[in-house]
Structure formats: C-alpha cells, structure tokens
C-alpha cells in the first residue's frame, strides 16, 4: 500500500510539474510591426486598435481551439532597417505570424533583402497594396485588401466616365507613390491620354506645397489624384483649399476620411472622393461590420470612433483566425501558410477572400465613396 501510494504521489507530482510548464504554444503569438510614431504613425495606431479589438473578442469566445491569441505591437518608426531588425528578433521567438505592416519603403527593403525567406514568418495584411509588393508572388506574404491596380482602375474609369480627362497626380516620392503614378499613366495611355501634371512630394510633415499648388493653378487639370499617406494628404488638402483651388480631388484608400478631416477640417475634406477596399463600416447588414461595431464598443478604447483603418485591422485578424482554425495540432509558421492557401473563396462575415498556393491576394472588393458634410464616407 505504501509503495502504491508513493507511485500515485510520484505520478501526481509529474502531472503537476507538467501543468506548471505548459508549452509555449498554449498562447498563439503574433506581432503587429508598423509605424506607431512618425509621419504615418496615426495610421499604425488606428490599425492597432482594430487588431486588438478582434483579438480580445476571439479570446473572449475561447480563443483558437482553446489557445489564447497574444499580440505584440512593435513600433518600427517608419524606418526600413528597424523593421528588418524587429522581424529578425521575432524569428528567434515563437511568433507565428506578423500582421498589417504599413509602409512601402520598409516592405520593399524587407522583400529585397529576402528577410521573410530568411525568417519564415508569414505576413498577413500588408499595407499599401502596391503592385511591386505583390508581383512576383512572395510565398510568405498574404494580402487581404484588393491591390492598388484595382483601386486606380476604378478611380480612372469613374473619372473618364464623368468627363474628367485632364488628370493630375500628386504622389508620395516613395515606392508606393511612384508605382501609383506609373499605373495611372499606363491606364490613361490605353485611352490615348496622358497625365496632365506629375507632382512628387516628400513624406514629411509641414512641407511647403506652394510650388506644387502653383503648378496645379497654372495647368488647371479637372481632377487631382492624391497618392499620399493620409496624414500628408490631409496637410496637402488643407493647403490646397486655403489656396482657393477648386478642382475635384480623389485618393485611393490611403486617404482615410477621419484623418483627412482631423488634419484639414471637415469643411476642407468635404467632396473628396476616396476609393475603398473594405465594405462600408455603417453597413450593418454585413455580419463582419456588425460584429466590428459591437466589439469596438465592448473592447476598444472608450473614446474610439469607428473608422476604416480599425476595421481593416479587425478584418485582417479575422482572416488570420480562420487560417489558424484550419490547422490540426500546434500552429506553426509553415502550417499557417498551408492553411491560408487552403482558403478558397472563404466568406468572413460577408467579406470574401480567395487564396491558393499561386494566389496570395485575398479580396477584389473596390468601391468609391464621397466625404460628406459630417465627414462620413457616403457609398
């Protein structure tokens, strides 16, 4: 009896020790590496809210197969070398994936240096949707939103349909801006048209836009396309309106309406058209929008107001979670890639993504909205 008791005690001690050293994968660790400061820090902070709201909601419902999602947010300060350093540091941890990095200079450098191949970390939800970040296909990169080419095609077709054929392009003097200019030039060339004005501007706060505004004033295009991050677009928009220029303004989805209104004021932002790669955040007939609105109130900061940047971060986590749920056993970087590639025409609450081993662009959704009097996007 004494020997049996000792054996039971031994087994009990073993199980207690095992329980006290639960495997690291009991938490599924992911990272949000993005600018949280600097010229586009406002976008990074809004995406981070959406990401954390989605994770809190998933964990409240039991996580992924009983495992909790844990996000680590890292500020790369909009510096390519710092982003690379962070990714290499994450590779030495049990981080399964990286979410929603913003900024074409940093991602361009990451791809050029083959950092993803080196580390094996899959990235879900890259911003921007610039085509050089999508072609050729990188096996570790999964895009959630439609590509920039789809946005520019929609904007150009809409402009030409309503007779706006003298198009100026004010673009950020970085890869995503230059790529946008090249695509618009190509699309206009197909219609035997040329860009009326090409005006590069730096991605830096408090820039003097007087030379660009003088050029627009002189050439008088009937449409100005702003291919600029939201904070800088807001500053340009403020200077544009204050100069008294009246030409129609439009922007791809990077011109977040809330940021434009906060930086330039609602009165100056009114009438700007904005391409959208996410559904209307007021369309609560869609389950994904309805859950975002509800969970933002429940898990978001008290003063947080719904916006499309938060929503895209939220949707990105939902896409990642669907991939994780398809994995049998412990999630690994490799198994997550395979799981995401199995998501053919997958409906995420009314938002459809379609991946395969040869297709890493999830959505094709693009629409155009107009900023209204109260700074809401109407579409």
pLDDT tens track for 284-326: 999 999 999 999 999 999 999 999 999 999 999 999 999 999 9
In a domain, 71, yes or no: yes
153, 142: one domain: no
| pLDDT tens digit sequence for 161-188 | 999 999 999 999 999 999 999 999 999 9
Final residue in a domain of this structure, among 276, 307, 336: 276
| pLDDT for 3 | 42
| pLDDT for 122 | 98
**pLDDT bucket at 205, cuts 50 / 70 / 90:** confident
| pLDDT for 26 | 76
135, 194: one domain: no
Final residue in a domain of this structure, among 236, 258, 276: 276
| pLDDT for 15 | 34
The mean pLDDT of 263-273, rounded to a whole number, is 97
> Burial letters for 274-308: b for 16+ Cβ neighbours within 10 Å, e otherwise?
bbbbbbbbeeeebebbebbeebbeebbeeeeebbb
317, 238: one domain: no
155, 269: one domain: yes
| pLDDT for 14 | 35
Final residue in a domain of this structure, among 231, 247, 276: 276
What's the total number of domains in the chain?
Answer: 2
Q: What is the pTM of this model?
A: 0.86
Q: What percent of the chain has pLDDT over 90?
A: 88
193, 141: one domain: no
34, 84: one domain: yes
Sequence-distant (≥ 6) Cβ neighbours of residue 91 within 8 angstroms: 118, 119, 120, 121
**Lowest pLDDT segment from 13-22, 201-210, 234-243, 333-342:** 13-22
Phi, psi of 18 (to 5 degrees): -65, -40
In a domain, 90, yes or no: yes
In a domain, 319, yes or no: yes
Phi, psi of 105 (to 5 degrees): -60, -45
Kindly tell me if the per-residue pLDDT of 5 is higher than 60: no
Containing structural domain, residue 121: 24-146+284-365
The mean pLDDT of 351-359, rounded to a whole number, is 98
Are residues 355 and 343 in contact, defined by beta-carbon separation less than 8 angstroms? Answer: yes
The mean pLDDT of 139-149, rounded to a whole number, is 97
298, 359: one domain: yes
Kindly tell me if the per-residue pLDDT of 2 is higher than 60: no
In a domain, 156, yes or no: yes
Under DSSP, the state recorded for 330 is S
170, 263: one domain: yes
- Give me the chain's average pLDDT, please: 92
Domain of 91: which CATH number? Answer: 3.40.50.2300
| pLDDT tens digit sequence for 207-255 | 999 999 999 999 999 999 999 999 999 999 999 999 999 999 999 999 9
């Amino acid at each position: 009896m004494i020997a049996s008791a000792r054996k039971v005690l031994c087994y009990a001690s073993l199980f207690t020790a095992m329980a006290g050293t639960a495997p690291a994968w009991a938490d599924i660790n992911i990272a949000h590496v993005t600018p949280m400061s600097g010229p586009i820090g406002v976008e990074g902070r809004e995406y981070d809210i959406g990401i954390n709201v989605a994770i809190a909601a998933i964990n409240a419902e039991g996580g992924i197969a009983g495992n909790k999602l844990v996000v680590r947010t890292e500020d790369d300060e909009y510096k390519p070398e710092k982003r690379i350093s962070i990714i290499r540091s994450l590779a030495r941890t049990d981080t399964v994936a990286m979410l929603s990095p913003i900024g074409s200079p940093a991602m361009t450098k990451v791809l050029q240096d083959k950092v993803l191949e080196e580390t094996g970390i899959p990235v879900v939800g890259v911003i921007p949707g610039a085509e050089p970040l999508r072609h050729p296909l990188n096996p570790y990169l999964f895009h959630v939103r439609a590509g920039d080419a789809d946005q520019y095609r929609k904007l150009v077709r809409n402009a030409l349909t309503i007779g706006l054929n003298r198009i100026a392009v004010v673009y950020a003097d970085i890869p995503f801006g230059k790529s946008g200019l090249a695509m618009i030039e190509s699309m206009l060339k197909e219609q035997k048209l040329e860009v009326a004005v090409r005006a590069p501007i730096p991605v830096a706060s408090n820039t003097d836009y007087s030379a660009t505004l003088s050029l627009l004033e002189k050439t008088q295009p009937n449409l100005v396309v702003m291919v600029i991050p939201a904070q800088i677009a807001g500053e340009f928009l403020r200077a544009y309106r204050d100069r008294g220029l009246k030409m129609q303004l439009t922007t791809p989805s990077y011109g977040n309406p809330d940021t434009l209104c906060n930086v330039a004021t609602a009165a100056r932002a009114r009438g700007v058209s904005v391409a959208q790669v996410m559904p209307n955040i007021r369309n609560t007939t869609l389950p994904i929008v309805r859950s975002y609105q509800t969970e933002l109130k429940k898990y978001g900061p008290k003063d947080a107001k719904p916006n499309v940047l938060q929503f895209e971060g939220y949707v990105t986590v939902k896409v990642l979670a669907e991939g994780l749920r398809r994995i049998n056993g412990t999630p690994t970087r490799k198994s997550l890639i395979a799981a995401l590639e199995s998501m053919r025409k997958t409906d995420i609450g009314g938002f459809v993504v379609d991946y395969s081993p040869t297709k890493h662009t999830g959505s094709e959704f693009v629409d155009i909205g107009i900023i209204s009097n109260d700074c809401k996007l109407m579409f």
